[in-house]
């Protein structure tokens, strides 16, 4: 079965609009875990627009009490300290998630919107990946469905790739979808052939996930924005079960 990791960034965004700890990230994570999700994802950024360093620590402790559940921390490996944000790598070294997903975002981006160009960043990433693997973390790289780049992901030492699915989601319901879906299928097949695991995420929802779940070898999807929107209408536990049902039918 394809695993579901719920991204809690948008719950943190709502929390940050007021003082205090309401809504509680750990409380909502518990709801998701009780509903059967396989993991929790967070993406702490230096500006702390949603996830804060304390959230990463709290959720790492929570997940540690749930054997079999994975904690995935994603972000830019080169994000430097800023205020009480310790820097991405020091935060990962402190909390030791099961999976670290490296993403080439910048402080000014509203959200992640492209994969790595490993021709440019590969030499700088390689020692970072080696260090994270020495810490016994699984390392995934946020990637476009580009065969050349996926081969380079293997060369720099990644364990998995996370296919950036924004373009797929944008093409849903259009004539461009079939050709784009084929690109993702080919990218996933290549990754599997060269020994990379395959994750996916960005703008996946209950509708377009029905198409993407057919991607061969897909191991995990990380879903946050649409999951949060669906939770407003359905309730979080019901939303989690709805996503799990879609994945179970893959």
CA 176 to chain centre: 25
Total residues belonging to the chain = 250
Task: Say if residue 109's pLDDT is above 60.
Answer: no
* Residue from 70, 181, 202, 220 carrying the catalytic annotation: 202
Helix, strand, coil percentages (3-state) for the chain, rounded to 5, are 45, 15, 35
**Whole-number average pLDDT of the chain:** 96
Is 43 one of the annotated active-site residues of the chain? yes
* Residue from 28, 38, 43, 181 carrying the catalytic annotation: 43
In the structure encoding, which two tokens stand for residue 156, read together?
A: 């720099």
User: pTM for this structure?
Assistant: 0.96
Task: Say if residue 110's pLDDT is above 60.
Answer: no
3-state secondary structure of 118: helix
Q: What are phi and psi of 222, to 5 degrees?
A: -110, 120
Residue 3, preceding bond cis, omega within 30 degrees?
no
Is 74 one of the annotated active-site residues of the chain? yes
- Is residue 161 packed enough to be buried (19+ CB in 10 Å), middle (13-18) or exposed (0-12)? buried
Domain residues of the chain, as ranges? 3-248
DSSP state of 85: B
Banded pLDDT at 107 (limits 50, 70, 90) = low
Per DSSP bridges, beta strands 138-143 and 99-102 are parallel
CB atoms within 10 A of CB 175: 7
CA 29 to chain centre: 15
Banded pLDDT at 106 (limits 50, 70, 90) = low
Is 202 one of the annotated active-site residues of the chain? yes
Per-residue model confidence as pLDDT tens digits over 47-73: 999 999 999 999 999 999 999 999 999
* Residue from 70, 74, 162, 220 carrying the catalytic annotation: 74
Task: Say if residue 112's pLDDT is above 60.
Answer: no
In the structure encoding, which two tokens stand for residue 10, read together?
A: 């948008």
Tracing tokens 């749930």 back to the chain, one arrives at 66
Supply the pLDDT for residue 114: 80
Topology annotation, domain 3-248: TIM Barrel (3.20.20)
In the structure encoding, which two tokens stand for residue 200, read together?
A: 């996916």
In DSSP terms, 41 is beta-bridged to 7, 72
């Amino acid at each position: 079965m394809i695993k579901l990791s719920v991204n809690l960034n948008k719950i943190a965004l709502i929390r940050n609009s007021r003082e205090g700890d309401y809504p509680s990230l750990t409380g909502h994570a518990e709801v998701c875990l009780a509903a059967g999700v396989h993991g929790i994802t967070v993406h702490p950024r230096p500006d702390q627009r949603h996830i804060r360093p304390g959230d990463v620590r709290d959720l790492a402790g929570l997940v540690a009490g749930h054997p079999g559940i994975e904690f995935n921390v994603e972000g830019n490996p080169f994000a430097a300290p800023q205020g009480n944000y310790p820097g991405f790598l020091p935060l990962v070294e402190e909390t030791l998630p099961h999976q670290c997903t490296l993403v080439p975002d910048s402080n000014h981006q509203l959200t992640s919107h492209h994969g790595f160009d490993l021709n440019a960043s590969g030499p700088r990433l390689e020692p970072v990946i080696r260090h994270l693997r020495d810490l016994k973390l699984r390392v995934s790289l946020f990637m476009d469905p580009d065969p050349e780049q996926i081969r380079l992901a293997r060369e720099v030492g990644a364990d998995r790739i996370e296919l950036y699915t924004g373009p797929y989601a944008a093409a849903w319901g259009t004539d461009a979808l079939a050709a784009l879906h084929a690109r993702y299928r080919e990218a996933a097949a290549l990754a599997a052939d060269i020994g990379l695991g395959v994750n996916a995420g960005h703008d996946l929802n209950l509708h377009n996930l029905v198409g993407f779940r057919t991607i061969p070898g897909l191991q995990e999807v990380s879903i946050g924005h649409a999951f949060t929107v669906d939770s407003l209408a359905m309730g979080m536990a019901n939303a989690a079960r709805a996503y799990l049902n879609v994945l179970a039918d893959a």
